Structures are given as structure tokens and as C-alpha cells.
Structure 1
Amino acid sequence: MVGTSLEFDTLLELCHEQHRRIVLAVLASEKRSLTVSDLTKAIVKHNHHTPLLEISEEDVRPIRLSLHHVHIPKLADLSLVTYDRERQLVEPTAQFDQLQPQLSAVIDADPELEAPVAL
């Protein structure tokens, strides 16, 4: 059973986008608040296999913008994270902790995320 406030289909839709899967995996792994910059670094590291400093701003900007305007707000709307836009801080909620086993099962099934995504 997924949980009382998040249906299974919603969970699958949430995990449909790879950047959100990476964000969820990093939040699950780190178990702490992270900045948008931290999450951007994790996505760049996963997708480009290179440090953030070696990627052009032209490549990083769309990732950061999609996190800020699409992916993090979607997680916040589902009460999985709180998002302080001023401080650019993302914090997992109690609901995230409750759903972590189901989220982890979906994330673990992703062949593109071979090892736990870490910062």
C-alpha cells in the first residue's frame, strides 16, 4: 500500500521524470535538507559524469530552472518536501520518510541509476 494521501498512480507519475528520480534518490540517500545547487550538482554528475565546474552554464541553467519551477514544486505540492524559495532549500518531510520504501523500489528499478546517487 502506498499511503493514505498519495495514490500509486501518482507515485509512478512522480517517478516518471528522471531528474525527479535523481532528486528523490539524493534526498533519500542524504536524509537532510539540500539546496537547489546540491540537487543540480547531483543531476549533472549523474547525466554528464563530470563535476559541475566542468559543465557550461548553458548546460546547467535548464536543469536548475526545471528544478526550481517544475520538479521541486511538484514534490512540494504532494507534501514530500518543503521548499524555501528564498534560501533555495529543499527539505524532505515526514510523508517523504513514510513513502521512502515505495519510492526506493521505483528508483531501484531504474537501470540508469546503477548506484545510489550521491553528492
Structure 2
Amino acid sequence: MVELETVFELLSDERRRYALYYLYERNGPVAVENVVETVEEWEDDAPDGDPEGDSFDEIALELQHVHLPKSAEVEFIQYDPDRNAVQINGSPPEFDAFVTVAKLLETPEE
């Protein structure tokens, strides 16, 4: 069981939420590059998104050094910077419920 405070903290940043939404829909490890591409696209498509927003490299840097390591502090998210891969595995029901609702409310399109 994961504490709700931890789930809320994971979902507190838009860029990290977008990464988690993408990972939640995948089975197995995902290349960080794929996560970055999707986050970049969703940020550009967001209603308040800046079409001149951060570049791919800026998003990659922030995800690799801030958001993915932060997410990997919970046992069900594994981030391997050496393999440049990340995955969600065995997420608890509390996380599943909140990430599903948050994604529906925020509606980034795949």
C-alpha cells in the first residue's frame, strides 16, 4: 500500500504526470526517449501549452535528472538510467485510481 501523500506528490508536477500517464499504459520497460517524445507532444497540445515550449533536450534533461528519479523512489516504478529505461510494475490500487482519474481530467491525447 502506498500513502496517498506519495501519490499526490508524484502527480503534483504536470511533466511528471504526463510521463506517468504514458508509462501507466505500457507493459514492460520503455525507452526514456519515447517518454520524452510523448511528453513533448502532450505539452505542445495542452490547452495552456506553449507551442514554443521546452525543447526535446530540455524535457529529457528534466525527466532524467528530476522526475524519473523522484518517481523511482516508490517501489512500483523502476528507472534504470544505465539502460535508459523506465517502467511501472505492480502499482497499488491507490495509484491506479488516482492516475486514471487525473488522466481523464487532463486528457492528454496519445
Q: Which category describes the TM-score, using the shorter chain as reference length?
A: 0.7 to 0.9
Pairing 1:108–2:104 present: yes
TM-score (norm 1): 0.73
| Cα distance, 1:31 vs structure 2 | 2.7
Match of 1:7 in 2: 3
Percent identity, please.
22
TM-score (norm 2): 0.79
Residue type of the alignment partner of 1:32: G
Q: Secondary structure at the match of 2:72?
A: helix
Pairing 1:38–2:34 present: yes
100-109 vs 61-70, which moves further: 100-109
Match of 2:59 in 1: 63
Aligned length: 103
| Cα distance, 1:75 vs structure 2 | 1.1
1:35-74 alpha-carbon deviations (Å, 9 max, x no partner): 110000001111224xxxxxx9x71211101111111111
Q: Secondary structure at the match of 1:31?
A: coil
Q: Comparing both structures, which one devotes a greater share of its residues to helix? A: 1
Residue type of the alignment partner of 1:35: A
Moved over 3 A (4+): none
Unaligned runs of 5+ in 1: 50-55
Q: CA RMSD in A?
A: 2.3
